[in-house]
Structure 1
């Protein structure tokens, strides 16, 4: 009899608490803070805002809490405290998020995927745009010239871990580490500047990655990833660009969004904006822009593969084509770099090491420089340096030698000495040198 009574109480308890709140994760980014509630089952919920002070209230029906609020990692400046409160209905659980500012939350459930089960996602977009980080300080360029801008996209991030290796290492961390190293190398190059689509562990919408590159007026977009397959055998790096089928589909999408076509770079956007919506002219200009972008992407990928093949194993020695959203921009040459197979135990360990990450970053930089020295965009410092008889001015910095300066600009020490009437290899800090065209 006692056993039956215990079973009855257990069934009643299960009926009363049909769901469990098992975890709370917070992902701050420059545009919003994302809160993810890990649930045992699909959540039934309601939410509303309160003011003075600002609070977001989330009611979870028939839910029991298993989360220790004190153990939640929270680096968001927007969310100041998480607590519970008395619910309006019996059997439900009320969460309260105390906030620094008013928001318009976007709340939606997510079905199980990968390592995650049921989730309730809360996006809190920043209303105050001053929360966004200040743009990176640009290096001074000679009058009338601009820097070559490379947008670097660290794949995945935040709630999206990407591929997971045999030792449970996540692709999103590897891609960000390599991206940061590449950005540092690029920013040390005279006449070049890097822009990161994400600077921390948060997710950026795939379409927005291209938009970030476009707003930065990028000449090139590189998306860094780490490959993965079910079989642990495959190894090596590869480079991917947009397939023609995807290009055609994206062309149609751009035609449907006429108001955004003026944002295209390279002069195409201005021309399109002056066609008065003529679909035939618009299609022609977009076709030309996409064709040039894909041709440039292929040429750049060959230079990058040649350099990567010197320092890492290649899985594919020729550029591959795929239908990938991050490569869709019709106006910016875009490449996806698979740095190696994180699903391979040996490469998983390599991808985690600083020396291997630096090798990959250096090879990518060398490939970019190799291509753009031969094909410098008009109006850039690199184009001025490459022009016959031209020169750019370089101020010697602490720790720089004549050989270091010569390598950076791709010219010989003897040419710099001859161009500046130097009798020795010794240079002093603050000395201004005229760098001849390479």
Structure 2
């Protein structure tokens, strides 16, 4: 009798242990981006899995060992077109789950397990590189007012100044999370889109986005996108966070000298990529014995120019930001951020405030406040490029056609307009003036027409 009771209890324990040990799929998320779609399976425990692909039709089949198939796979949000459908299929055995990812085109999947981190538990990550052809000659810049399509190959006039806008984080990477649950990735994308709209409305400027929606782009890929689009500047937008709620205020960051030297060395080792930075100079440097020396000199000068520009622009952004928010740092700070490592593109990272501060989180959730932050970055960028427009741009040509005049006591815009036979509105436009007030000693650009 005792022996049978013990056997029953032991059997119950084994059944309970086996049931408790079974893994579960707690949720599924799909994050499409222009060149990759990521599927994340949130798991109760570390996943044990195998996978294989099938053709006619194209499918990725994932077998989860010792896993329940109770999780719902229908109705998962998916804004991309690489994945047609997620569904279950007949598993290898009763204790397993088989998930089938139906695909619209061929891809080479990469699967890996991720251990718990912060708000996330165990996960299985599926990366699906997208092989769909991308347009090579046209660039679509979305904005709140519509879609602007530019053909870079047939521009008859001086080119626009191109500003790459980088909304931090995205997709499966939410960034910092505020005490009220605000995701940094949503704040940065909203500000980025507002800045994009302001730049695209400005004659002689054009914006491109490293990400235009809620998907993940690796930090190293972001400056590459800016280079591919021939950007004159990269602005990366983030929101700061700390373990305590007290810190607050915005800040601006540029690349540290140590990281700059490291990146320069890495580019010098990649001889096949020298032409990306040297342009036409790469064709002139044919002497292999002097190639590295000349390349190092040219790349060094390019890096110096980029860092000097970053500092100058960073100071202007700080000046504009302090009119919108308090400052955590009153001067541009140096750091080793991957997004700032393009040696040939001036780059800054703007922390718009501490999302971990309850009041600043509340401010960042206010659309008008985000617009003011975007306007601060826009004004600083415009001020800088009006003073130092890149060669070959419309603004550089207009500056070359202008004369300068240093305002003396008793002079006004109307007086200068009469003297140079131009309109007051033309002088104001050439100097980005919002009023008719000028100050003694101010240097004005006077249009010739």
Range into which the TM-score falls when normalised by the shorter chain: 0.7 to 0.9
How big is the shift at 1:119? 1.1
Shift of 1:77: 1.5
**Equivalent position to 1:247, from 251, 254, 260:** 260
Partner in structure 2 of residue 81 of structure 1: 85
Aligned to 2:281: 271
- Deviation at residue 127 of structure 1 after TM alignment: 1.8
1:201 aligns with 2:214: yes
Matched, 1:95 2:99: yes
Q: CA deviation at 1:348?
A: 0.4
Match of 2:275 among 262, 273, 284: 262
Q: Does 1:27 align with 2:31?
A: yes
1:157 shift after superposition: 0.3
SS of the counterpart of 2:312? helix
Secondary structure of the structure 1 residue equivalent to 2:323 = coil
Structure 1 range deviating more: 107-116 or 326-335: 107-116
Alignment correspondent of 1:418: none
Q: Paired residue for 1:384?
A: 397
* C-alpha spacing 1:149/1:33, structure 2 compared with 1 (3 Å): same
CA contact under 8 A between 1:411 and 1:437: conserved in structure 2?
A: no
Q: Which residue number corresponds to residue 237 of structure 1?
A: 250
CA distance in 2, matches of 1:105, 1:406: 58
String of CA shifts for 1:241-300, please: whole Å, max 9, x gaps. 000010011111111211112112xxx333245434522222111111111111111011
Q: How does 1:175-194 map to 2 (within 5 A)?
A: 175-194=188-207
Residue of structure 2 equivalent to 1:11: 17
Deviation at 1:414, TM superposition (A): 11
Q: Quick check: which has more Rg, 1 or 2?
A: 2
Counterparts of 2:448 and 2:179, CA distance in 1 = 49
TM-score (norm 2): 0.84
Give the direction of change, closer, same or farther, for the CA distance of 1:105–1:199 in structure 2 (3 Å limit). Answer: same
Further displaced range: 184-193 or 19-28: 19-28
Provide the C-alpha distance between the structure 2 equivalents of 1:179 and 1:404, rounded to a whole number of angstroms: 30
Name the residue aligned to 1:42: 46
| C-alpha spacing 1:134/1:85, structure 2 compared with 1 (3 Å) | farther
Would you say 1:333 and 2:354 are equivalent positions?
Answer: no
TM-score by length of 1: 0.86
Quick check: 86-95 or 154-163, which moved more?
86-95
Gaps of 5+ in 2: 141-148, 404-422, 437-445
Cα distance, 1:42 vs. partner?
A: 1.9
Paired residues of 2:32 and 2:215 also in contact (CA < 8 A) = yes
Question: Which one of the candidate residues 121, 124, 128 is aligned to 2:128?
Answer: 124
After superposition, where does 1:317-332 map in structure 2 within 5 Å? 317-332=330-345
Report the CA distance between 1:409 and its aligned residue.
Answer: 4.7
Q: Quote the offset at 1:43 in angstroms.
A: 1.5
The aligned counterpart of 1:109 is: 113
Where do 1:248-397 residues align within 5 Å?
248-264=261-277, 268-276=278-286, 277=288, 278-389=291-402
Contact kept, 8 Å, 1:154 with 1:179, in 2: the verdict is yes
Secondary structure in structure 1 of the residue aligned to 2:199: helix
Deviation at 1:139, TM superposition (A): 9.2
Q: How far off is 1:11 after superposition?
A: 1.6
The CA distance in 1 between the partners of 2:370 and 2:46, in whole Å, is 40
- Aligned residue for 1:321, secondary structure, equals strand
Shift of 1:200: 0.4
Structure 1 residue 3, shift from structure 2 partner:
5.3
Query: CA contact under 8 A between 2:157 and 2:394: conserved in structure 1?
Result: no
From the superposition, tell whether residues 32 and 241 of structure 1 become closer, same or farther in structure 2 (CA, over 3 Å). same
1:138 equivalent to 2:144? Answer: no
Return 101-110 or 136-145, whichever deviates more: 136-145
Aligned to 1:410: 431
SS at match of 2:139: coil
CA deviation after TM superposition for structure 1 residue 80, in Å? 1.8
CA distance in 1, matches of 2:184, 2:78: 22
In angstroms, what is the RMSD of aligned CA positions? 2.6
